[in-house]
Structure 1
Amino acid sequence: MIYTEIILKKENFTMNNIIKAGQPTELKDLISYEEGSIANLDIAHADNMKFVLMAFDEGTGLTPHRAPGNAILTALEGKAIIGYEGKDYELSAGESFRFDKNGLHSVTAQGKFKMSLLLVIE
């Protein structure tokens, strides 16, 4: 179980109703793979944060880039190679990885791969 509490200003906060109140949900089941591409599904966002699900089809990935804030990536299904500041790390379902603001990182799916991303922008 993961518990996270983030305090947001109500007027700038949007939550996707795909997750139903009072109903257990596996995040990996909320997003489908799209052939040859990366699918994205925003779950919640505000001016200073974003929580998104991503599904990487086999052979896809994100080239090296820098995040605008601190981020936590959690593997939901499959495996990926996470490049971070010049080193590679294998991430499997159930594992998480943190990026610092402006940390150079990439994601390369090893087969089909699903993940969640919590991005907090300062």
Structure 2
Amino acid sequence: MNQNVKTNEVFALKDLISYEEGSIANMDVASNDSMKYVLMAFDEGTGLAPHRAPGNAIVFALEGKAMIGYEGKDYELSAGECFRFEKNGLHSVTANSRFKMALLLILE
């Protein structure tokens, strides 16, 4: 477990990670051989090129808006919404504005 996540403390995931100008910041919250829980902060206009998911995954939008490309179709994702990827699903993420998300990736 990441040391920034304190026991007996109320917190907002989006406050655990900061934006980095012109790039994408990421922080592992928790991980082991079968899962990863990661926070990501995308500066406006940044993104991840199309790639395949190494496991089933759920993206949780924490702040802002992004375009999720998934298997040839685009989906707009806003704070408070989620999106699921299947293992090996071809996807991309492009921040329409500054965008923070949490990613739960199940590795099998």
Q: Could you tell me the TM-score, scaled by structure 2's length?
A: 0.98
Shift of 1:19: 1.1
* Matched letter for residue 25 of structure 1: F
Shift of 1:107: 0.3
* Matched letter for residue 89 of structure 1: Y
* Matched letter for residue 43 of structure 2: D
CA distance in 1, matches of 2:11, 2:80: 15
Residue 45 (1) aligns with residue 31 (2)? yes
CA distance in 1, matches of 2:76, 2:26: 21
Identity over aligned residues, as a percent? Answer: 75
* Matched letter for residue 27 of structure 2: L
Return the match for 1:118 from 78, 93, 104.
104
* Matched letter for residue 77 of structure 2: L
Give 1 or 2 for the bigger CA radius of gyration: 1
Unmatched 5+ stretches in structure 1: 1-14
Matches within 5 A, 1:1-122: 15-122=1-108
- Root mean square deviation of aligned Cα: 0.5
CA distance in 1, matches of 2:14, 2:96: 16
CA distance in 1, matches of 2:91, 2:11: 29
Shift of 1:111: 1.1
* Matched letter for residue 32 of structure 1: S
CA distance in 2, matches of 1:68, 1:59: 25
Shift of 1:28: 0.2
* Matched letter for residue 101 of structure 1: K
Unmatched 5+ stretches in structure 2: none
Q: Could you tell me the TM-score, scaled by structure 1's length?
A: 0.87
